[in-house]
Amino acid sequence: MEEAEELRALRQEPSGKRITIGREDPNDRKDDSHTTTTSKRWGTLLEGLNPKRRLPILTWIRKYDGADALSDLIAGVTLGLTMIPQSIAYATIAGLPSQYGLYAAFMGSLVYVFCGTVREVSIGPTSLMSLLTLEYTAGRPVQYVIVLAFAAGLVELAMGAFRLGFLVCFISAPVTSAFTSATALIIIGAQLGNLLGLPRTVDGGFFATVWSVLSRLADSATGDTLLGIGCIVLLLALQYLPRLVPVIRSRPVNRTLWYVSLSRNALVVLLSALLAHHLVTSNTDGGKATAPFRLSGRIEPGIPAFEWPVRDVTVNGTTVTFPQMLVELGSGLVLVPLVAVLANVAIAKAFASDGVVDATQELFALGLCNVIGSCFRAMPTTGAFTRSAVSHASGVRTPLAGLYSALLTLLALGVLTPYFYYIPRATLAAVLIAAVASMLDLGIVRRLARPPALRTDLLAWTVCFAVCLVQGVEVGLLCGMAVSLLEPLRHWVGGSVSTSGMTLADSATVHRCIRPEVGLLYTGVDRLRTAVLAEARRQPALPLVLDCERLVVLDYSAARALRELADEVARYGAGPLVLVNVRPGWCRALELHQTDEGYVFKRPEPASNG
């Protein structure tokens, strides 16, 4: 409610009561809004510094009981079994060793427990963040990934401090759909090589990657191919396992099938790792243990020690400073946090119990997850719909469920890392392909081709989707945003004008009314001038009225043009140009004079000859 009040104040929205012509003088209103606004700002600032506001755990932990603890434990363990294999797989998308995904999962889950407001949200690595990380850090040392996470966290904190969460509104639904669909296709294309056991080639884009895989199909490894396809089939079968629940009446069996479905990623990874371990220990080739498919390799155990990300790095004998790394990351410093905020706020809104989300606090929480995580070598993180859906289905009660997920991840890093060596790469590829397949939303094209969708919606989707596949997701997202902004810019910049007849208060004279829509900026002045002068030529005997009721913005150029337009109307002999429903602040800025019919521009007093 406070944010809405501030927004109304900034926009200077009028009250529900319409200005009555000929009855009100703006000078009669005593303006004490400055003092009120200042006190509100100080109150908002002090409330923003309240520990309970920035650490929501201090509010709900007092009501925490045994039932909540049990529900969160079940949800946290279930979520951890989903997050661990996904985090390992997402790290491979970013071109990183598997442990970096686990670092991000651990720190994101832990920090959000204290700062998060939505119990279903789970912060960690995602396919979108991994792909964007690869786009900006491919071929560079790992320190670039750490710096990207650190810088993204700072930008997210700044967005929270200055309440810039509204920026995600510039990414329309068609652009979001195209971006996620293209991302899913790029990830699937990139994982085809691992699924078929082909050596990795230099990344040349989606089409180059797919062509490279198709041209080397004859070189596919039989073991990897069979294992990968088998894992995909098993994952899909386990995903739809709950559909058997209505058939089976036994409650324990129903519950077991449900947990098996939620833990399908962990089960598939576990089974394939056990298979690989059995084959490696039972088969030897020249004294060396081998497996019929490629394995993940050694994973570094434990959580790294605290290390401040702001430091230099040596690349090929050359020292690269922290500012230089920021310059090389370029647009990623803005695009990565913007996509992260978009995903996290969308998830928070989807799962919020009352539909209300403290977007500012969510920005702070996400920023802290990335800043603190980068100090422990974590990759960029955000929320994920799949993990949130798992938490919701598991009956999560509070964000404390993330603590159990973090502890399970820590257990995996401390105890299970020697066994992660045996996870086949084809299995991780299958997990990723099955996870991102649900992100494909090609059916939206049919919906965008029908009303009430606009042509620019379909154009924005097409441009974003095509450019993402050809030039990369970061360029595609920016191009899609640019195209989707054409329609609102057309209304705001060009403006539109409607004309009609009206009778003013206390007047029997019929006036010709001209109503500018939305905003009057310097780019729309010519359209308004053309409409007004056309009416003045057509019926010079009838007075002209400019109704400002629907105007929400007015710039300096437009204000100056209005005065010049009033002079032109007077030269046509149509009388003064009358303005009605003008905001009090604009009356002063335009130097308007009130008459019985409305407001007119003040004219300079003629100089006396005496």
- On the question of pLDDT at 308 being above 50, the answer is yes
**pLDDT tens per residue across span 551-600:** 777 778 778 888 888 888 888 776 788 888 888 888 887 888 888 778 88
Dihedral sign (CA 485, 487, 488, 494): positive
- Which whole-number Å values give the CA distances from 170 to 150, 163, 234, 450, 478, in the listed order? 24, 15, 40, 22, 10
Going by C-alpha positions, the residue among 477, 544, 490, 476 that lies closest to residue 521 is: 490
- Which whole-number Å values give the CA distances from 332 to 67, 154, 329, 378, 528, in the listed order? 43, 13, 6, 17, 41
**Which DSSP category does 596 fall into?**
S
- Which whole-number Å values give the CA distances from 41 to 160, 262, 319, 578, in the listed order? 16, 46, 46, 37
Question: Rounded to whole angstroms, how far apart are CA atoms 573 and 442?
Answer: 60
Structure-model confidence comparison of residues 28 and 202, the more confident one: 202
- On the question of pLDDT at 21 being above 70, the answer is no
**pLDDT tens per residue across span 502-554:** 655 555 566 788 888 766 767 777 888 888 888 888 877 777 888 888 777 77
Q: What does the DSSP assignment read for 39-99?
A: HHHHHHHHHHT-HHHH-THHHHGGG--HHHHHHHHHHHHHHHHHHHHHHHHHHHHTT--HH
Query: What's the predicted TM-score (pTM) here?
Result: 0.76
Going by C-alpha positions, the residue among 600, 606, 556 that lies closest to residue 574 is: 600
- 3-state secondary structure string across 214-239: HHCHHHCCHHHHHHHHHHHHHHHHHH
Number of Cβ atoms within 10 Å of the Cβ of 542: 16
3-class DSSP state for residue 108? helix
pLDDT value of position 18: 39
- On the question of pLDDT at 286 being above 60, the answer is no
Show contacts of 284-289: CB within 8 Å, 24+ apart: none
Q: Which amino acid, 322?
A: F
- On the question of pLDDT at 439 being above 70, the answer is yes
Structure-model confidence comparison of residues 581 and 37, the more confident one: 581
Residues 6 or more apart whose Cβ sits within 8 Å of residue 245: 254, 257, 258
- Which whole-number Å values give the CA distances from 590 to 39, 478, 538, 556, in the listed order? 29, 38, 27, 10
What crossing angle do the helices spanning 401-411 and 66-93 adopt, rounded to 10°?
A: 50
- On the question of pLDDT at 16 being above 60, the answer is no
E-strand spans in 433-533?
497-503, 510-516, 518-520
Going by C-alpha positions, the residue among 224, 219, 190, 230 that lies closest to residue 207 is: 190
Question: Rounded to whole angstroms, how far apart are CA atoms 146 and 137?
Answer: 10
Instruction: Kindly report the backbone phi and psi dihedral angles of residue 202, in degrees, each rounded to the nearest multiple of 5, phi listed first.
Output: -65, 135
* % residues pLDDT > 70 (the chain): 83
Q: Where residue 13 falls among pLDDT bands split at 50, 70, 90?
A: very low
**pLDDT tens per residue across span 225-272:** 999 999 999 999 988 887 765 666 667 777 788 888 888 888 999 999
**pLDDT tens per residue across span 321-348:** 999 999 999 999 999 999 999 888 888 8
**pLDDT tens per residue across span 106-138:** 999 999 999 998 899 999 999 989 999 999 998
pLDDT value of position 41: 55
Q: What is the rounded (10 degree) CA torsion for 545, 551, 553, 558? A: -30
**Which DSSP category does 579 fall into?**
E
Question: Rounded to whole angstroms, how far apart are CA atoms 113 and 387?
Answer: 15
Q: What is the rounded (10 degree) CA torsion for 473, 478, 484, 485? A: 170
